[in-house]
Chains A and B, each alone.
Chain A
Amino acid sequence: MNKIVEKEYFSEKVVKIVVEAPEIARSRKAGNFVILRVGEKGERFPLTIAGADPEKGTIILVVQTVGVSSSKLAALQPGDFITDLVGPLGKATHVEKKGTILAAGGGVGIAPMLPIVEAFKKAGNRVVSVIAARSRDLIILEEQIREWSDDVIVMTDDGSYGRQGLVTTGMEEVILREKVDECIVIGPAIMMKFAALLTKKYNIPTLASLNTIMVDGTGMCGACRVTVGGKTRFTCVDGPEFDAHQIDFDEMLMRLGGYRNEEKQAFDNYVHQCQCQKEKP
Chain B
Amino acid sequence: MSIDPETIKKERSAGWREELRSKTKNKDRVAIERVHMPELEAEIRVHHQDREVNRGLTLAQATLEATRCMDCVTPTCIEGCPVSINIPKFIKYIESGDILSAASTLKETNALPAVCGRVCPQEKQCESRCFYVEKLKKPPVAIGYLERFAADYERESGSCNIPETLPPNGIKVATVGSGPAALAFAGDMAKYGYDVTVFEALHEIGGVLKYGIPEFRLPNAIVDFELENLRKMGVKFVTNFIVGRTATFDDLKEQGFKGFFIGSGAGLPRFMEIPGENFNGILSSNEYLTRVNLMGAHSDDSDTPILRGKNVAVIGGGNTAMDSVRTALRLGAERAIIIYRRSEVEMPARVEEVKHAKEEGVEFMTLCNPVEYFADKNGRVNRMRVVRMGLGEPDASGRRRPMVIEGSEFDLDVDLVIVAVGVSPNPLVPASLPGLNVSRWGTIIVDEDKMQTSIPEMFAGGDIVRGGATVILAMGDGRRAAEHMHSFLMTK
**A residues within 8 Å of B by Cβ?**
23-24, 27, 37, 39, 41-44, 68-69, 72, 83-89, 215-216, 218-223, 225-227, 232, 237, 251, 254-255, 257-259, 262-263, 266
Contact = CB atoms under 8 A, between A and B. Distances in A.
A221 B379 contact: no
A215 B378 contact: no
10 contacts: A37-B203, A72-B303, A218-B426, A218-B428, A219-B268, A223-B287, A232-B271, A232-B278, A254-B280, A259-B305
A66 B280 CA distance: 21
Given A86-B240, A215-B290, A255-B278, A222 B271 contact: yes
Interface in B374-407: 378-380
A247 to B, nearest CB: 12
A43 B378 CA distance: 24
A222 B427 contact: no
Contact of B246 (A42, A86, A216, A223): A86
Contacts of B268: 219-220
A69 B245 CA distance: 25
Contact of A219 (B203, B271, B305, B427): B427
Interface in B428-444: 428
Contacts of B203: 37, 44, 83-84, 86
Contacts of A227: 278
Most buried by A among B202, B239, B267, B306: B202
Interface in B251-309: 251, 267-269, 271, 273, 277-281, 283-284, 286-287, 290-291, 295-296, 301-307
A151 B490 CA distance: 62
Interface in B190-239: 201-203, 211, 239
* Residues of A contacting B: mostly: mixed
Given A43-B295, A218-B201, A266-B303, A223 B283 contact: yes
B247 A27 contact: yes
A68 to B, nearest CB: 5
B242 A86 contact: yes
Q: How large is the interface on B (under 10, 10 to 19, 20 to 34, 35 or more residues)?
A: 35 or more
Contact of B295 (A23, A44, A255, A257): A44
A263 B304 CA distance: 9
Nearest to A32: B245
B327 to A, nearest CB: 15
Nearest to A253: B379
A5 to B, nearest CB: 18
Contact of B286 (A69, A221, A226, A251): A221
B280 A220 contact: no
Contacts of B251: 27
A37 B304 CA distance: 10
Nearest to B267: A220
A87 B201 CA distance: 9
A220 B286 contact: yes
B249 interface: no
A222 B247 contact: no
B132 interface: no
Contacts of B277: 232
A41 B286 CA distance: 19
A222 B284 contact: yes
Contacts of B267: 218-220
B248 interface: yes
What 8 A-B pairs come out closest when comparing CB atoms? Answer: A262-B305, A254-B379, A221-B287, A258-B280, A43-B303, A86-B240, A220-B267, A84-B203
Nearest to B269: A222
Contact of A88 (B211, B245, B279, B291): B245
B245 A27 contact: yes
Contacts of B239: 84
A220 B464 CA distance: 13
A84 B203 CA distance: 7
A254 B378 contact: yes
Contact of B290 (A23, A39, A219, A221): A221
Contacts of A220: 211, 267-269, 286, 290, 426
Contacts of A85: 240
A216 B293 CA distance: 13
Contacts of A24: 246
A68 B303 contact: yes
Nearest to A37: B203
A70 to B, nearest CB: 11
Interface string B80-93: 00000000000000
Most buried by A among B202, B286, B305, B378: B305
B269 A221 contact: yes
Contacts of B271: 222, 225, 232
Interface in B161-208: 201-203
B378 A222 contact: no
Interface string B359-377: 0000000000000000000
Contacts of B284: 221-222
A91 to B, nearest CB: 10
A152 B412 CA distance: 54
B187 to A, nearest CB: 25
A219 B269 CA distance: 8
A55 to B, nearest CB: 17
Contacts of A43: 295, 302-305
A86 B301 contact: no
Interface in B300-340: 301-307
A221 B284 CA distance: 6
A84 B273 CA distance: 33
Nearest to B301: A41
B305 A266 contact: yes
Most buried by A among B240, B245, B283: B240
A89 B427 CA distance: 13
